[in-house]
Chains A and B, each alone.
Chain A
Amino acid sequence: MGLFGIFLIYGLSLLVCKVFILRIYIYRLQTNAGALTNFEVLDFLRSRGASTDPTRVIASVAQSEFQVYDYLVQSAACNQTRESINEFLRCCEKFDLAKAEKINIINIRPASQVEIDPIIEDCEKRIHNDEVEDLVNMIVEVLPSSGKTGGTDEETVEAVADQEPMEVVLPPEGKPGGTDEETKETVAGQDPIDTI
């Protein structure tokens, strides 16, 4: 019965184009070891070498990660910086929002009262109308808008990513080694390129 199941999963994998379930046993030690804002995931992918220009084929980033990167770059997270998010968290302490609501606001960046309404639960009961207006004004002021100027702002955000590395256990020296192998496979005879 088990063997039959495994064989079927292999067969299914040929039918299913992209995403399928693994029938292996893993132990989930902590289902939720921390929530990440879109900006943090974007920062992480950038530090691994994802970008929108054609040098992306050389970075050690998978196709599926690039799809996530493409989605995040055209969302509100592309122009955010760590300082603006810290500033936002400091300013919204007086509104008594839940953690999930703060993350949601950072991810979506609502620019008007009607956009904030679905994000905050029981909005009318918890926060008065003029306070909601204050909140919206504060959001518009502190968090940068997504706009179409993602190209020019990427330079400054990448500088921030260099200064504040994420807590990755893998040593940075390991990365050029990894990309060396990638380049040898894909582009023969070219010197290894040092990714960001």
Chain B
Amino acid sequence: MFFLSLIEHTLRLPPHLLNLPLDQAIKGELETLFWDKVIANLGLCVSIYDIRNIDGGFIFPGDGASTFTVNFRWIMFRPFVGEVLSGEVEESDAKGLRLSLGFFKEITLPAHLLPNPSKFGEDGKWTWDFNGTELPIEKEDEIHFKVHSIRYPPIPVEQEKDVKPFAPMVITASIDFDGLGPISWWV
């Protein structure tokens, strides 16, 4: 679920941070830049793990700030395809479900990746019809799901007014397998 990624970045350190020790100032700047942001193909930045190398410190003409080239590692949230994760149901509608992990809420579970004879009831819940037994997916259930794919859609140039906020990282999940779905189904 979590990976370390080694990144190199050229960082401009604003002059008002010059009184701090260098590594602290750079750490603070990197955190402001990367905390809780998504980097395409690397995932969601969770936390800075360490700083490996700081180079440079040049001051370019006309600028009051110094520029450093920093090598550092971030803990990234990036599940691999086929990983089994555990999350909760956030919302459920006719097209499928949306699951959440607390810190990451863009996990879609489309209707075709639910176990085969499933139907959507009027109370807004999906129910799996397993050999005659009805197994519903309740809102408070802890759900084990398998990661089907991860997409990083490009930033849209234009957005209409009332559309949902843009999600830079979308995970498609599937529970079409033995042992997946709410834990209460299999216990």
Using a CB–CB cutoff of 8 Å, the interface residues on chain A facing chain B are: 8-9, 12, 15-24, 26-38, 40-41, 44-45, 48, 62, 64-65, 67-68, 70-71, 75, 100, 103-104, 107-108, 110, 112, 114-119, 121, 166-171, 174, 177-178
Contacts and interface: CB of A to CB of B under 8 A. Distances in A.
A170 B3 contact: no
Report, nearest first, the 5 A-B pairs whose CB atoms are least far apart.
Answer: A67-B103, A64-B36, A71-B102, A30-B6, A33-B4
Given A33-B4, A64-B35, A45 B73 contact: no
Contacts of A35: 2-4
B4 A34 contact: yes
B86 A68 contact: no
Most buried by A among B34, B73, B84: B84
Interface of B: 1-9, 21, 23-24, 27, 31, 33-42, 44, 46-47, 49-52, 71, 73, 75, 77, 80, 82-86, 101-103, 144, 146, 155, 157, 159, 165-169, 177-180, 186-187
Nearest to A178: B24
A19 B37 contact: yes
B1 A38 contact: yes
B168 A44 contact: no
10 contacts: A31-B42, A32-B3, A33-B73, A44-B49, A45-B47, A65-B35, A68-B46, A75-B86, A108-B144, A121-B82
A7 B155 CA distance: 13
B83 A19 contact: no
A23 to B, nearest CB: 8
B46 A65 contact: yes
Contacts of A29: 6-8, 71
A168 B37 CA distance: 22
A160 to B, nearest CB: 19
A170 B102 contact: no
B155 A26 contact: no
Contact of B38 (A20, A28, A169, A170): A20
A12 B159 contact: yes
B102 A112 contact: no
A170 B23 contact: yes
Given A21-B155, A118-B179, A169 B5 contact: no
A19 B168 contact: yes
Contacts of B144: 108, 115, 118
Nearest to A74: B102
Nearest to A171: B23
B22 to A, nearest CB: 10
Nearest to B80: A100
B159 to A, nearest CB: 7
A41 to B, nearest CB: 5
A22 B166 contact: no
Nearest to B40: A21
A38 B84 CA distance: 13
B46 to A, nearest CB: 5
A119 B2 contact: no
